[in-house]
Chains A and B, each alone.
Chain A
Amino acid sequence: MNNARTTWALQIVSRVVALVMFVGFISVPVSVQAGWLVKGG
């Protein structure tokens, strides 16, 4: 996979995976702070 043709694709894949994990993980504290997740809900 290490060649000039796939370098840009690998960059995009790694960035997308990192962003998906970031959004997924911060969704929990953001939801709590936004009031979408409440105690006893």
Chain B
Amino acid sequence: MATQLRDGKAADRCQACTRQENLGACGRATRPWCWWGTVVGKKVVMGGHRPGAGWLRHRPHARQPQDLSRRGGHRRLRGVPPHDGEPLFPPGLLLWVSPHRPARLRRAAHHGRWSKLTRMNWTARPQGYDTKRSVTTTYAARTMRWSGVILALFIVYHLLHLTGGVVSFQPGEFVHLSVYHNVVAAFSVWYVALFYIVAMACLCLHLDHGIWSLLHGRSG
């Protein structure tokens, strides 16, 4: 329902609580898009990244991603004798489809909500504070945008590095789909390992506030 605000802008009003400032936060939103349009809804959408490192196995002779493209691969996981059949998917397809494609869609939604949330935040207080003293916030909350930017850069590097093999490898060192070999070769360089650890520290901070915000924001 469109409502005329004091500044002349029209905005939707929650059908349940009828409070513009808490649109949908009452948990009784009558329409899904009522809750979707709230800060809480956007933060919930921003939650949820699945770790993409599930393909790593700790020995070269263990199952590699291309093994999963063979029919009956799941039987070997359960200890059933191997079943050699025709490839169900082209070799390497699942390496891209499973961990990365859904993650890319989530990242697109994640970035879209981040942009919207940032604009809402800046619009809510266009002028800066004369004196700013943090009272109840945390370091993780205050650095969400910075850790997010660092993580975005890290994701690009990560894909170019361990998936594409186009950066940080000597010529001929990267072996396509040989995950164990590539990971060990990559992290043998100390500054690459250090960069990953720093990026994971940013991820830890980001998740600390992100998960709390995701859970805390739900009414009920």
Q: A13–B197 contact, CB under 8 A?
A: no
Question: Which residues of the other chain, B, contact A29 by a CB distance below 8 angstroms?
Answer: 187, 192-194, 196-197
Q: Known contacts A14-B209, A29-B196, A39-B181: does B204 contact A19 (CB below 8 Å)?
A: yes
Least distance between B69 CB and chain A CB atoms (Å): 24
For the A-B complex, the count of residue pairs with Cβ-Cβ distances under 8 Å equals: 88
Q: Known contacts A2-B220, A26-B200, A41-B59: does B184 contact A17 (CB below 8 Å)?
A: no
Mask, B196-210, CB within 8 Å of A = 1, is 110011011101111
Contacting residue for B208 out of A1, A14, A24, CB 8 A: A14
Q: Is the interface of B mostly helix, strand, loop or mixed?
A: helix
Q: A21–B204 contact, CB under 8 A?
A: yes
Tell yes or no: B212 within 8 A of A by CB.
yes
Q: Give complex CA distance A38, B201 in Å.
A: 24
**Interface size classification for chain B:** 35 or more
Least distance between A40 CB and chain B CB atoms (Å): 7
Least distance between A13 CB and chain B CB atoms (Å): 7
Q: Which of A1-41 contact B (CB under 8 A)?
A: 1-2, 7, 10-11, 13-15, 17-19, 21-22, 24-26, 28-30, 32-33, 37-41
Q: A37–B58 contact, CB under 8 A?
A: yes
Q: Give complex CA distance A29, B219 in Å.
A: 40
For B217, give the chain A residue with the smallest CB separation: A2
Tell yes or no: B190 within 8 A of A by CB.
yes
Least distance between B10 CB and chain A CB atoms (Å): 29
Tell yes or no: B87 within 8 A of A by CB.
no
Q: B51–A21 contact, CB under 8 A?
A: yes
Mask, B164-196, CB within 8 Å of A = 1, is 000000000000000001011101101011101
Tell yes or no: B156 within 8 A of A by CB.
no
Q: A1–B197 contact, CB under 8 A?
A: no
Least distance between A19 CB and chain B CB atoms (Å): 6
Q: B208–A18 contact, CB under 8 A?
A: yes
Q: B53–A10 contact, CB under 8 A?
A: no
Give chain A's interface residues, CB within 8 Å of chain B.
Answer: 1-2, 7, 10-11, 13-15, 17-19, 21-22, 24-26, 28-30, 32-33, 37-41
